[in-house]
Structures are given as C-alpha cells and as structure tokens.
Amino acid sequence: MSTAKQRTSHSRYRESGQDRRRYQRYQLRLPSRVYSQADLSQPHVFLATTRDISSRGAYLATSQPLSANEPVRLELTIPLSRNDQQETRGSILISSGYVIRQDKAGMAVKFHDFQIFPLLDKKQN
C-alpha cells in the first residue's frame, strides 16, 4: 500500500471514529503479574495493570515494557463474580503470549492461549 493510501485510510479512520479491530476491546484495569520467558532459567517477574483487553490480547501499563517478540506468561486477576452455583473472590486468567509492541507507557501482548480459573470464596456450604 502506498504512503498516500495509508494516510487516506488512516484519516478516514480518524474522521469516522470507528475502530476496525476484529475483536472487541474492553477498557478494564486489571492487576497483572508478568513473567518474562526470554530466559527460563531466571524468569523476570513484575506487576502491571491492563489498560484494555480483548479475547486476543491486552495492553499492559508498566514502567518496565519488554521488547517486541519477547515471550511472556500473564496472570490477570478478574474481580469478584457471582453465579447460580457459587460466589467467587474472582477469577484468574493465565495466558501465554508475546509482546507485539511497546512504548513509554507499556506494551501490547498477543495471547497464544488462555485459561480462566475461579478463586473460590472460603465461605462455601
């Protein structure tokens, strides 16, 4: 695509205000633990907070963004939830993925896969 077409397309995007992403993003601030998997013998662990999340990835606000293409493991804490069967203290989403870009405010991570586990409340019958 030529530069002129890129500019035109980008400018139409800004004027229309529509997000053309394939997956819906949600602006959620979730506490996150990030495990850098570049060196598995000594993984680097630090805390971050999601700025937004989708079923395919998340943007993490952090003062320690990792480099693009760096593999990561994430643990995102999802607050309290209730359903017909039980009340939980929340859930934890565990994902493997990799950094797709980084900037001064944080980094975007694409999920390879993820699983969600309930954090069961201690008060169960």
In a domain, 17, yes or no: no
CA 118 to CA 115: how far, in whole Å?
10
* pLDDT value, residue 73: 94
In a domain, 18, yes or no: no
CA 29 to CA 51: how far, in whole Å?
5
Residues β-bridged to residue 117? 92
CATH number reported for the structural domain that contains residue 35 in this entry? 2.40.10.220
Which residues in the chain come in under a pLDDT of 70? 1-21, 40, 81-88, 121-125
In a domain, 7, yes or no: no
* pLDDT value, residue 118: 85
* pLDDT value, residue 11: 35
Element (H, E) at 61: strand 57-61
Range of the domain at 85: 23-120
* pLDDT value, residue 26: 92
Q: Nearest 5°: CA angle at 53, between 48 and 54?
A: 150
* pLDDT value, residue 23: 79
In a domain, 16, yes or no: no
In a domain, 4, yes or no: no
In a domain, 14, yes or no: no
In a domain, 13, yes or no: no
In a domain, 12, yes or no: no
Q: What tokens does 5 get?
A: 């077409």
Number of domains in the chain: 1
Which residue reads 């990030």 in tokens?
34
